[in-house]
Amino acid sequence: MPPLGYIRAAMRYSVLSLARNALTGHRDWPQAWRSPEPRRHYQVVIVGGGGHGLATAYYLAKEHGIHDVAVLEKGWIGGGNTGRNTTIVRSNYLLDANAHFYEHSLRLWEGLSQDLNFNVMFSQRGVINLAHTDGQMESYSRRGNAMRLNGIDAVLLDRDQVRQRVPLLDCSPGARFPVVGGLLQPRGGTARHDAVAWGFARAADARGVDIIQNCEVTGIRVEDGAVTGVDTSRGHIGAGKVGIVVAGNSGRLAAMAGIRLPVESHVLQAMVTEPLKPCLDTVITSGAAHMYISQTDKGEVLLGGDLDFHNSYAQRGNLPRVEQVVQAAVTMFPFLSRLRLMRTWGGIMDMTMDGSPIIGRLPVKRLYLDGGWCYGGFKATPGSGWCNAWTIARDEPHPLNAPFTLDRFHRGWLIDERGAGASPKSH
Amino acid sequence: MSQPFRAERGGLVDRERSLRFRFDGAVYEGHPGDTLASALLANGVRVVGRSFKYHRRRGIVGAGAEEPNALVQLAVGARTEPNLRATQVELFDGLAASSQNRWPTLDFDVGAVNDVLSRFLPAGFYYKTFMWPATWWMRYEHFIRRAAGLGRAPRAADPDHYFKRFAHCDVLVVGAGPAGLTAALAAARSGARTVLVDDGAHPGGQLRREPHAVDDQPGHEWAARALEVLRGLPGTRVLTRATAFGWYDDDLVAVCERIADHLPEPGPHRPRQRVWWLRARRVVLATGALERPVVFPGNDLPGVMLASAAAGYAHEHAVQTGRSAVVFCNNDSGYAAARILHGAGVGVRAVVDARGGGGGTAARGDAQTAGAEIVTGAVVSAARGRGGVQSVTVQDHDGLHLSGSPRTLACDLLCVSGGWNPTVHLFSQAQGRLRFDAALAAFVPDAGRESVICCGAARGLWALDECLADGERAGREAAAALGYEPAAAPARTAPAPETAPTMALWEVPDGEVRRGKAFVDFQNDVTAADVRLAARENYSSVEHLKRYTTLGMGTDQGRTSNVNGLAIMAATLGRAIPEVGTTTFRPPYAPITFGAVAGMEVGRDYEPVRRTPMHDWHVAAGARMQNVGLWQRARYYPRSGESMADAVCREVRHVRETVGIVDVSTFGKIDIRGPDAAEFLERVTINRFHNLKPGRCRYHVMLREDGHVMDDGTTTRVRDDVFYMTTTTAAAGAVMSHLEYHAQAVWPELRVHLTSVSDQWGGLAIAGPRAREVLRAALDGADVGDEALPFMSSREVTIAGVRMRVFRITFSGELGYEVHMAADHALTVWEAVLDEGRGFGVEPYGTEAMAVMRIEKGHVVHAELDGRTIPADFGFDRMMRKDGDFVGRRALGREAFTDPRRRGFVGLVSRNGRPIPAGAHLVWNPTAPVPMHTYGHVTSTCYSPTLDAHIALALVEEPAKWKGRTLYAASPLKRRSTEVHITDPVFYDPEGRRARG
Amino acid sequence: MILIPCPHCGPRAQIEFTYGGDATVRRPDPGTASDTEWLDHVYLRDNPRGPHLEWWQHTGGCRAWIRVRRDTLTHQVLGAWPATGPVAGEATP
Amino acid sequence: MTEPVRRSALEGHLEPGRHGAPDGARVRLSQGRVEGVTQLQGIGDGAAAGQALAALGFTGEPAAGRAIGGADLRLLWNGPGQYLAVSSRRHEQQLSAALNEALAGTGACAVDVSHARTLLRLAGPASRDLLAKGCPLDLDVMASGDCAPTVVSHFNVLLHCDGEDAFELWVTRSFAQSFLEWLLHAGAEYGVQVTA
Ligand SMILES: Cc1cc2nc3c(=O)[nH]c(=O)nc-3n(C[C@H](O)[C@H](O)[C@H](O)COP(=O)(O)OP(=O)(O)OC[C@H]3O[C@@H](n4cnc5c(N)ncnc54)[C@H](O)[C@@H]3O)c2cc1C
Ligand SMILES: NC(=O)c1ccc[n+]([C@@H]2O[C@H](COP(=O)([O-])OP(=O)(O)OC[C@H]3O[C@@H](n4cnc5c(N)ncnc54)[C@H](O)[C@@H]3O)[C@@H](O)[C@H]2O)c1
Ligand SMILES: Cc1cc2nc3c(=O)[nH]c(=O)nc-3n(C[C@H](O)[C@H](O)[C@H](O)COP(=O)(O)O)c2cc1C
Ligand SMILES: [Zn+2]
């Protein structure tokens, strides 16, 4: 029997519970989430235990009262892109559809730690997009104005204002990329990526969701044009509805249902330095130099750049991209030169043909896709889960994700923030 | 100055010379051959840093890359460098280092309060608190950030130079220990192009830490000689102080060579470090093994060290890491350490061996030599002391629990050997699989790439004779696989002691029930209790364990902690170790400076600059230059006292009223020829070309296959089968590739050849009412009249041997010409035009004036062609060919592309004389509450000196409906909004009379 | 860094090349293809995990567009062919 | 007016003298000058190539990656069916016109690119070391007569080995100055002797 309406009595996290447990040697902390055996059937099966899948399950239970949900994860939850991203959260978009959706997500971020009773360390330290020419300044103005008119915070900074906020940035006029100014979103920032997965998992689990790790979906069963369940490395699991939420593996999962997607999987790398005392307060991105940089709470400087620019499922990239990101970083922040790279890694991005995600129904009944997140799905995590849960629960999109359908490509309603066209690697 | 812990004899240091150095302000002495760590130890400095979380006093644990604790900040000023492992810093005279993560001093550190509060700060405590009040996170975080981090970043730019370098070889051998040396010798002697790299300053690896003889020579001398031999073999390269830090696809191994880190400064023109991008056909990994500590309470006290490290300091540096030692081990290598320590004058009280049967015969002999008591079947259950180890508790155990009565042994040094982990990092990076070898109690290489071969201790062989032979085998195998004939293997003599097997011991039993922290990861302060907490809370996947507790996430990447951590997790869960598995090994093997990875392409050299033939002229003329992609272009030519706006207005007026010239060399230029050239052009543009007459030009528009405009330009039919296309500056490269793709891949049957001639031709445009006169004068009176050269036509003229193409085209809307001339003559022609045209008043103008004039004319550039626009948005559909196929055509019929709400191209005129803000959006009422609907956006804006009005180009939905009406151009960012009148986008001379005149 | 065996130049480093995407997608006959077929060709991809036939242009070399079969999971190159002509293991287009 | 002197991209930037390490110049750098440079396209391969090349006065087919010919005309392979045709005697368009004429009917063509590339000559014992700082090719195996279109750092370069440790570097004109700066920077370690 599915435990409908079931809410597990979880130990609330607080200073007090921490103190109480300290006295007993922390021996009484319960599991953050259970690891149950999969049942034979669920009302909803979510494939993919990343932030989006877990958030979908959480909001299905919380907002739509659907508790008979399993999240199937082929490895360990949060081990996909959720666990390997540069954690930038922002809603600084030009196009309305994006702006509305990401702003909704940002608002959810703002109360997420409390909502989940798990500190996801959402740190609104501001995100600055640097402009290096007047032309870029103009296009950032266009974007910032669009944000403001959409009710989103945005501030245009001149060079001196950038310098004040980022003292170690090379703002000299003779720089290869002289800083002309920047667009700041003060409410943007970073969050503790793993905690997002764990927090959603714990909160979903508390509402009865089964989180099943080491369970790879290997097939999707379709009968009479409607989904009936999934085959997994742990056997067949029946499902009333199935949500595919697997980021870089979207194409593979869709193919199991005979569907081709406007998606290519590419590897994106990120890297950290050794930990340092605070030296960078804000998140900085530079389109011209192709890199973004921030400092984590633990003290590492965290960097990312462009894709490796070829299809890949390897979760690792090559040295030329690392070299280029590091060159860009040293060029903009000369102080980095004597710091050291501690670790590099990669994640598999589901790059779409217009750079925007797909959240909606697929051409198989009761089969849904939440994917195509490209570089930018971490910030979408709560918003995506929220919209996806709505879509799955009601079998129709919420107005916020209605523009993000799969058929927009064939109908021409592209949401192409960069204007790069049907070239996934260029978004 | 005395070095109280320097043994009287022995060691591979140069006692004849002394080097002075500072640590935390105090002055000490050491010798060439010392590392900072050995020199500190020689001087009796045992506490060298504070730990990451609890700020506990920490001493030196290891002797090389494995060191978790002894991280120091080196030097001051621009050359300061944080987080260096003292064990790998070679001593030089004048070296200055300081401890990290303490305030105010190493001895008295306020952060140590964390240690007192530590019971409230278990792994992951921050996920459970700091949530109230909700808005306070940023405040908590401020303090968390200040407490975290280790060293300090430099503030200044780095004065040193770095280079990268590509290299190729048949066989790359990583590691110059006994195995690596024999492998390299075998490969090189068989004729393979061989490269040998080693992390250390001297070859020998473990041979420098142990008094073993090879071929009856002291190990280090044998190694030095082997290196000499290698250096003498043709085609062989040896790099020392060189860390192979990453394996990449197709066996590209990245190696960082520290050329000058052992010197105070690199010296003029000398690089500090160099990264080698080594492409190898075979990679031999002889990376050795790293010793592992054991987890027990108090195991982080200064004075608790790895046995091999203590032995290494004794043998290599003649340093006594204590006066009175206890050795605690689960394998034979601890006994050898005891003997070596004894040899350096350290008293060894006991060898505590967890194995019931104790060590092999050789091992027992070692302990006897050292005069140490052998305690078998026992463990060190705790270490105690203030500021350093003062005593250890020794107790029997039965595998699961402690037994018998504890015994306390006083000592100031506890040498621990918990077994050895083969250094499998690069093998794993190379997609090799690991296998847990229960007999060795370690992960060893299993299946891997054919091209990657492991040998020696890296493969779990511990005996020296085996390592030597295995290296030889690997080197021969690598060479033979590439078709080289291996030379006969030399016979080698080396000790082959009989050893007793290692016992798996990760954590001393019953650790959980006793007080005192038992550390797994020293650097990140992860304890055994933290690992168990993670298990309890179901962070039990090894990857969750890592991320929840930060185990293995420090600068040492868990070299001494990962295996113990996962083994404790396995024990807690009751699973087998292979089931738990390891985390992923990632580059870099050891931290590498950004400077080295970046090489020389940083700062101003991050990207090259492209210059037009007239570049230097513009600079000399005082032009303000502007980056446009890689190009630099003259933006405007200010006269003294002029602002940019003044200068641009003057330049515009001058063109409109008289005549000006502008450098347009940056346009892309493509020679398209062949019998099918016209057909090809029709397929890649929306235009018709079959009917274009030779000598005529046509404005062309190119689409992407998804129907959006990709680029525009002009294409001229030079001859029947020769066309000359120009592209925009920004899209030149992309257009060339796009055309090549279609010519080579889509329509290979078309007989057409594409040649980029962007750099063959310099370009200048002459515009203004007097353009023709100027041109005629400059072209030695060539006929450029309306008949010889009508609008949208072109001709080739050769004057004094200078070949030029003159085009009657205009961007400004004035009577205009473009002249393209062979690039090496472009400056000459440019100067000639200015010279000959002086009488007509010709003056240069920049890209900014050009931009203003094109806005006045309603010409589109990339601000409008933003990748989201289609031909119909600009009315280009009128020039679109009605028949036939071209790239993008089929995508144009889609619903959204014909939707009446699509934004179309319009002009805007400010109604109140105020500027139309850049980046503004068009709204009905700028003061209405947000979010509000926007009807369109401004794409380009300027003050038009010609019209004396602020004008702009924009895209607006339902343009036909809005034309003639007003909206607001709102820029909330600048708190400005301007009421604008919506007009046709061509503000100036809409009939085009001036251009045709 | 991947080593790509350019059929014209021999093995060259990845940094000399520019990626061009799936090479199994062919431009349909504009005269006969339905709108859906056409747009499928523009937008939809198999995106396999494993062997993938793909375009690369040797922009830092001979400038030829070439077809490379490469495993997207291991990055291993399985073969390379000129822009036209048969590809081993593939029906001739 | 007679034909003006050509003003190369490096005019005023190639400072003769010693650069970098003062003790011994292990690299020599100078600018090369030729009369005409033409890009040949569509030479084809096999028999077709043989015909086309015969029309230009060459016997046999030069293999990919090789350079052939002499001062009057030499061909540097730079792609399938493509050669950079270089003449130290025949002037710009005269060269391309002559080549086009010779190639008429073969399907191949010649485009004058005499100004599109700047030629630098690098020689000396450290020239390979210098190039290896930016060029991913296996330079050790490059022998006299080999040529390869490749990259050196950010620059597209047609690299032609024309002697023991001697190279021709053909670089895109607009990048020439940046490339020169790169060479001097990369070569400073070895000492660079620049001659005009
Ligand atoms: C280097 C890097 C930097 C990034 N930087 C940012 C950034 O700064 N800001 C930002 O907003 N976004 C960023 N992103 C993007 C962001 O990380 C992702 O878009 C987002 O995390 C996607 O979350 P997800 O839950 O959809 O996917 P994932 O976290 O990848 O989760 C998908 C899960 O599905 C599982 N799965 C796959 N196939 C199967 C199967 N067959 N059966 C069962 N389970 C399966 C996977 O194991 C995985 O755990 C970055 C990404 C990377 C790689
Ligand atoms: N008694 C024991 O139980 C025991 C255990 C292990 C090893 N050993 C001894 O150690 C020796 C093993 O010989 P070996 O040659 O296999 O190893 P080694 O440890 O002697 O040499 C390995 C070398 O590789 C270098 N290295 C490692 N990673 C590197 C990298 N990424 N880049 C550059 N250099 C790197 C190290 O600096 C070291 O010099 C033998 O003498 C053996 O007896 C003994
Ligand atoms: C925001 C962020 C910060 C990270 N910080 C560290 C770090 O301090 N130390 C570390 O070893 N790895 C760090 N990592 C990298 C992880 O160790 C790991 O490489 C990454 O999660 C990808 O997983 P994988 O390498 O196991 O495939 C960080 C990753 C992210 C996303
Ligand atoms: Zn090639």
Over range B836-849, report the average pLDDT: 97
Rounded CA-CA distance C16/C24 in Å is 23
Residue A88 Cβ contacting ligand 1 at under 6 Å:
yes
Buried b (16+ CB within 10 A) or exposed e, B647-658: bbbbbbebbbeb
Q: Where are the alpha helices (DSSP H) in D3-126?
A: 46-55, 92-103
Give the number of the ligand closest to the Cα of residue D151.
4
Tens of pLDDT, residues A315-345: 999 999 999 999 999 999 999 999 999 999 9
Tokens 């480093």 sit on residue? C13
Closest residue in A to C39 (Cα) is A410
**Among the atoms of ligand 1, which is closest to the Cα of residue A384?**
26
Q: What is the pLDDT of residue B508?
A: 96
Over range B920-924, report the average pLDDT: 98
**Band of pLDDT at residue A1, cut at 50, 70 and 90:** very low
The reply to whether residue B740 touches residue C84, judged by beta carbons under 8 angstroms, is no
Residue A81 Cβ contacting ligand 3 at under 6 Å:
no
Q: Which residues contact B57 (CB under 8 A, 6 or more apart)?
A: B47, B50, B106, B302, B387, B388
CA distance, residue C37 to nearest chain D CA (Å): 34
Task: Kindly list the residues from chain D whose CB atom is less than 8 angstroms away from the CB atom of residue C64.
Answer: 79-80
Over range A81-94, report the average pLDDT: 98
Residue A272 Cβ contacting ligand 3 at under 6 Å:
yes
Q: Which residues contact B504 (CB under 8 A, 6 or more apart)?
A: B330, B419, B438, B441, B567
Q: Which residues of chain D have pLDDT under 70?
A: 1, 61-62
Tens of pLDDT, residues B586-633: 999 999 999 999 999 999 999 999 999 999 999 999 999 999 999 999
Over range B43-47, report the average pLDDT: 97
Tens of pLDDT, residues B754-808: 999 999 999 999 999 999 999 999 988 888 999 999 999 999 988 877 889 999 9
Q: What would the DSSP string read from start to end of B364-426?
A: HHHHHHHT-EEEESEEEEEEE-SSS--EEEEEEE-SSSEEEEEEEEE-SEEEEE--EEE--HH
The pTM assigned to this predicted structure is 0.97
CA atoms within 13 A on the CB side of B372: 37
The reply to whether residue C1 touches residue B252, judged by beta carbons under 8 angstroms, is yes
Q: What is the pLDDT of residue A213?
A: 98
Q: Which two tokens stand for residue B429?
A: 């990076």
Lowest mean pLDDT among B138-147, B285-294, B949-958: B138-147
Q: Is the model's pLDDT at B920 over the cut of 90?
A: yes
**C residues 15-44 lying closer than 8 A (beta carbon) to B:** 18, 20, 27, 30-31, 33, 35, 38-39, 42-43
Over range A171-175, report the average pLDDT: 90
- Touching subunits of A (3+ CB pairs, under 8 Å) are B, C
Tell the residue nearest (CA) to atom 43 of ligand 2.
B464
Give the number of the ligand closest to the Cα of residue C12.
4
The closest of C17, A176, B601 to D156, measured between CA atoms, is C17
**Among the atoms of ligand 3, which is closest to the Cα of residue B583?**
26
**B residues 762-801 lying closer than 8 A (beta carbon) to A:** none
**Band of pLDDT at residue A7, cut at 50, 70 and 90:** low
Q: Is the model's pLDDT at B262 over the cut of 70?
A: yes
With the most atoms of ligand 1 within 8 angstroms of its CB, the residue from A59, A85, A321 to mutate is A85
Q: Is the model's pLDDT at C93 over the cut of 50?
A: no
CA distance, residue C26 to nearest chain B CA (Å): 8
Q: Is the model's pLDDT at A6 over the cut of 70?
A: no
Q: Is the model's pLDDT at A124 over the cut of 60?
A: yes
The share of chain D scoring above pLDDT 90, in percent, equals 81
The reply to whether residue C83 touches residue B889, judged by beta carbons under 8 angstroms, is no
Q: Does A264 touch chain C (CB under 8 A)?
A: yes
The reply to whether residue B972 touches residue A145, judged by beta carbons under 8 angstroms, is yes
CA distances to A342, B82, B901 from B264, in Å: 24, 16, 68
Q: Which of B611, B628, B761, B831 to mutate to test the interface with D (most CBs of D within 10 A)?
A: B611
DSSP character for B745? Answer: I
**Band of pLDDT at residue A3, cut at 50, 70 and 90:** very low
Lowest mean pLDDT among A239-253, B960-974, D63-77: D63-77
Q: What is the pLDDT of residue B77?
A: 86
Q: Is the model's pLDDT at A11 over the cut of 90?
A: no
CB B588 within 8 A of CB A342: yes
**Band of pLDDT at residue A4, cut at 50, 70 and 90:** very low
Q: Choose among A260, A314, A422: nearest Cβ to C42.
A: A422
Widest CA span in chain C? 42
Q: Is the model's pLDDT at B98 over the cut of 70?
A: yes
Q: Which amino acid is at B929?
A: P
The share of chain B scoring above pLDDT 70, in percent, equals 100
SS3 A56: helix
Q: Is the model's pLDDT at B455 over the cut of 70?
A: yes
**Band of pLDDT at residue A10, cut at 50, 70 and 90:** low
**Band of pLDDT at residue B134, cut at 50, 70 and 90:** confident
Q: Which two tokens stand for residue D67?
A: 């350079």
Rounded distance from Cα A79 to ligand 1 centre (Å):
8
Query: In the A/C pair of chains, how many CB contacts fall below 8 A?
Result: 72
User: Does B75 or C9 have the greater pLDDT score?
Assistant: C9
The closest of A36, A44, A9 to A366, measured between CA atoms, is A44
Q: What would the DSSP string read from start to end of B657-709?
A: HS-EEEE-TTSEEEEEESTTHHHHHHHHSSS--TTPPTTBEEEEEEE-TTS-E
What is the torsional sign of CA A74, A75, A80, A83? positive
Query: CB neighbours (10 Å) of residue B485?
Result: 9
Q: Is the model's pLDDT at A5 over the cut of 50?
A: no
